[in-house]
Structure formats: C-alpha cells, structure tokens
Amino acid sequence: MKHFLAIADLKPAELKRYLDTAKRLKAEWRKRGNRPILKNKTLGMVFQKPSLRTRVSFDMAMLHLGGHALYLSPNEIGLGQRESIADVSRVLSRYVDGIMARVFAHAHVVELADYSRVPVINGLSDREHPCQALADVFTIVEHRGKLKGQTVAFFGDGNNVARSLMFACALGGARFVCASPRGYALDEASVAAARTFAAKSGGAVTLTEDPQAAARDADVLYTDVWASMGQEEETARRAAIFPPYQVNAGLVALAKPDAIVMHCLPAHRGAEITDEVADGTHSVLFDQAENRMHAQKAILAILMDGKTLKR
C-alpha cells in the first residue's frame, strides 16, 4: 500500500508524477470542474494541531473530486492518549478510505500507517511537511517554468518545512540554500541524505549563516515562522536571534529581478517577512496557498484512485 509520509521517501519519478497530476487536476478544475473520481470515498482527517490551510484545502480537494472529508478534532481522538495509536488506526481505517493526520511527532503518523488498511497522508509532523513541499515545488514550476536548475533560498529555522522543501529540491535537481542562525540549521543526517539525492539529480544543497549570500542571485526566496507551533516557549529567544534573516526589500534586491517570494503561512508580518514584501510584486504567497488544494488533490487521486493517471 502506498502512503504519503515524507518527501524523503519519494523517488524523482514519483515526485514528477505528483506534480504532473496536480497540474492536470488544476487545469481541469479551472476549465470545467474536476470529475468525481473519488465519489463515495471518505477521507478521515485526524488533527492534533489546529489548521486553516490543511483542513480547508483537504476538505475542498475531496469535495472537488466527488468525495467527503470527515474532521476529527484533538478532543475526539486523543491520539495515543485515550487509546493507542495502533488501535485508532485499526478502527478508523475500517470506516474510511484514506487517513490524513496532522500531528506533533512524526512517529505518530508512521505508526498510523503501520497499522492502517488504507493510505495515510502526513498533513504535518515535527519532521516533515510533505504536502506543503509538494505545493511549494508545484508553485515554483508554475511561476519559474521548471524546478531543475532553480536556486531556492530558505531563510530561518531548519524546521520541518525547510526539510521537506530541501528534499523536494534535491529530488528535482534544484539548488537549495538554507540560511539559518548558528544552532538552528537543518540536521546533518537530513542534509547528507538530501545531498545524495542532489548528486543524482544535478542539484545541490548548501547551508550558510549568511542570509545575504543565500539571497544573491536566487530564483526563489522562502521563509517561515521563527517559532513553530509547540515552540511557544522559545518565541522570545528566537525573536532576538532571527531578525537578520527577515525577508525584506533589501534581501529581495539581492535576488534575481524576477525572483519569487514564498511563505507557507501563517505569516508573522513584521517578523520573518515584511508587509512590503508579502504584498509586493515578487510575492506568490496566495498562489502558493491555493496550490495546497491542487497538490493535495494529486495525492488523494493517486493514493485513493489508482486509475487516475490512465483516464
């Protein structure tokens, strides 16, 4: 059975298949609406963390494809608390045709997949945010024409979003540069794995503490919040360390003239990104947010309807 747990699990051909399917489904939706390829199918959505984009984009993706999404709040499930994760998975996968889980610990979504009779999708974990990364590279391809050969510069914490984006860029032959303060860089094991992918694809992975060097001649500038959900106690300390990595007009001026600016949202305007940039001509923030829905349609179609690419 196929799951969608981490970008690091994919092969380049699989990444391309997801991107091609997202492109086709988005074009179909804009032209005449999507065909109901998931009619009578239900996605169970398990949330440990609240969300705007993840919940609504998956809900609408299932609706557009003719299916139904069932929201399960943290209080309703109590994943690993009211009952074991294994038992939750065994029960839920007898009711629904697919499971999407937005969790704190990556091990929880892996365990859900281990015991599930249906495909499991990682809607976010502390290690990876693969749905976001798929939407991100889909957006890059839409606005830059291709992923291969693009220089994608990420500014800030080496978090789950940065990690998934790094793997996607490495698989797709892009040059990924991550600028982080000392002590907040991506972990060595993930970087080593991504560099193995990049060596085969023609891409590259670079870490730096110099945000100006990362921005110079970049095709894409990407940032995220400095303190993620669950790191609230670190907010003040990070706010004192991260300001040099803010994506502002000065940083954008170092990139290519037609560079795009990205943020996975929600944004803390005035912190990791300025209003001037978020609402400026380089910004593709809201195209990127919309593409969560289309990228996730591709995931749902491929995992829950294996015939989708043959139609």
The segment(s) of the chain belonging to CATH 3.40.50.1370 are 7-129+292-310, 131-289
**Residue 227: both structure tokens together:** 């303190």
pLDDT at 186: 98
Active site residue: 24, 102, 127, 144, which one? 102
Predicted pLDDT at 75? 81
Query: Of 24, 224, 263, 294, which residue is the catalytic one?
Result: 224
- Residue identified by tokens 């001509």 is 281
DSSP 170: H
Of 53, 175, 264, 288, the catalytic one is: 264
Give the pLDDT of residue 121. 98
- From 24, 48, 127, 132, the catalytic residue: 132
**Is 231 marked active-site?**
no
**Prediction pTM value:** 0.96
d(CA 255, CA 273): 15
Among this protein's residues, is 132 annotated catalytic?
A: yes
Q: Which of these is catalytic: 3, 238, 292, 294?
A: 292
DSSP conformational letter for 232: G
* Cα(149)–Cα(204) distance, integer angstroms: 9
What pLDDT does residue 308 have? 46
Write down the architecture of domain 131-289 according to CATH: 3-Layer(aba) Sandwich (3.40)
Active site residue 94: no
Residue 129 is a catalytic residue: yes
Q: What are the pLDDT tens digits along the chain (311 aa)?
A: 699 999 999 999 999 999 999 999 999 999 999 999 999 999 999 999 889 999 999 999 999 999 999 999 888 877 767 789 999 999 999 999 999 999 999 999 999 999 999 999 999 999 999 999 999 999 999 999 999 999 999 999 999 999 999 999 999 999 999 999 999 999 999 999 999 999 999 999 999 999 999 999 999 999 999 987 667 788 899 999 999 999 999 999 999 999 999 999 999 999 999 999 999 999 999 999 999 999 999 999 999 985 544 43
Residue 8, C-beta contacts closer than 8 angstroms, at least 6 positions apart: 128, 167, 190, 193, 194
For 7-129+292-310, CATH number? 3.40.50.1370
In the structure encoding, which two tokens stand for residue 178, read together?
């991550």
CA-CA distance, 54 to 291, in Å (whole number)?
11
